[in-house]
Amino acid sequence: MQSAARSSLVVVDSRRQIPLWEEGLLRIFGDSFPRVVSGLAAMQQGQTSLFPWEPPEVTIATYSELARAIDDLDLFDLVVFDDVASLSLRGRGAILEHPPPSHALGIHVGGSPPELDEAVTAFVGRIIYPPQNPLLVEQDYVVRVDLEPMERRLYETASREGGDSDLSRQVVLNAHGKVVAIAELAEVVSEGSLLIYCPHEPLARRLAHSIGLGLITPHTPVFEKARSLADVVAGSIPGAVLTRLEDIAGTSAATLAVIVSAPLRAARRARNLFKSSAGSASIFQIVVRDTFEEADIDDPDAPEQQELFT
């Protein structure tokens, strides 16, 4: 693939079979990135005023072609991945060897979540726009943190049996290890605080311990709650894990908010509370869901799904 100017959109298709303006692609963009889809639609029609580059240049490439141009990756503003799950093992290894630049936005299009392995997840998770980018300044970034079906069953079984067995600890480690990656991401993209809303108290406790955050639950004394929030504001601790929606009101110092394992309605309320408490439209928010929740929100056309993620 030839080197591109600083005004390029790269669409990576491991099979080279992607119709760029396919309705499904636009719909997936639109679920979480309405400004991006507006810009893409404008590009399709030859109207580029909504997009931050003139003129738009679209390059369709396989990942292997992109990898050969790894030194030029920072020239691209937007990288879109389609059907990444069909990459060969060699291709997935190349992903870890050549992580992309942090200023680009990566969107995985195609392939169901079970098809994504750690390499692909790490790759997509590392490429994001910085929050100050005017194109997406008020948008949310949606990241999947899924437990595998077997992990979920083991966790639920272990929880019923007391939750302190080696099995329970291992399953929870697997679960919150995926969330730790978000904390590491927060360190890269922000110097502010990380706040996690997780209504499942056992998981919240393990998250707080693992990432080194304060923990606020219904059992936390008022003075300890106030101290934890004050520590977050002062920057003496990197953030806090909250198990109640009511406590979000005191989290105005949040730079990055994560919603873990919350039912859909609670996740939507938490999202709105985080944004209103921050007092700024530029809050850099990541909404995270996992398979603990009973609601099926995989259908992007569902009204509640659209309300949560747009």
Per-residue pLDDT at 196 exceeds 70: yes
Q: Which of 137, 168, 202 delimits the end of a domain? A: 137
Residues 134-152: what's their mean pLDDT?
Answer: 41
Q: Which of 137, 153, 169 delimits the end of a domain? A: 137
pTM recorded for the entire structure = 0.43
pLDDT for 261-270, tens place per residue?
666 677 777 7
48 and 83 in a single domain? The answer is yes
Within-domain flag for 163: yes
Beta bridge partners of 12: 61, 81
Within-domain flag for 12: yes
202 and 133 in a single domain? The answer is no
Within-domain flag for 234: yes
Total of domains in the chain = 2
Within-domain flag for 3: no
* Domain region containing 48: 8-137
Q: Which of 107, 137, 167 delimits the end of a domain? A: 137
CA separation for the pair 185, 46 (Å, rounded): 35
Burial class (CB in 10 A: 0-12, 13-18, 19+), 81: buried
Looking up tokens 């899924």 gives 146
152 and 300 in a single domain? The answer is yes
pLDDT at 65: 52
Beta bridge partners of 102: none
Going by C-alpha positions, the residue among 175, 155, 174 that lies closest to residue 165 is 155
pLDDT at 217: 92
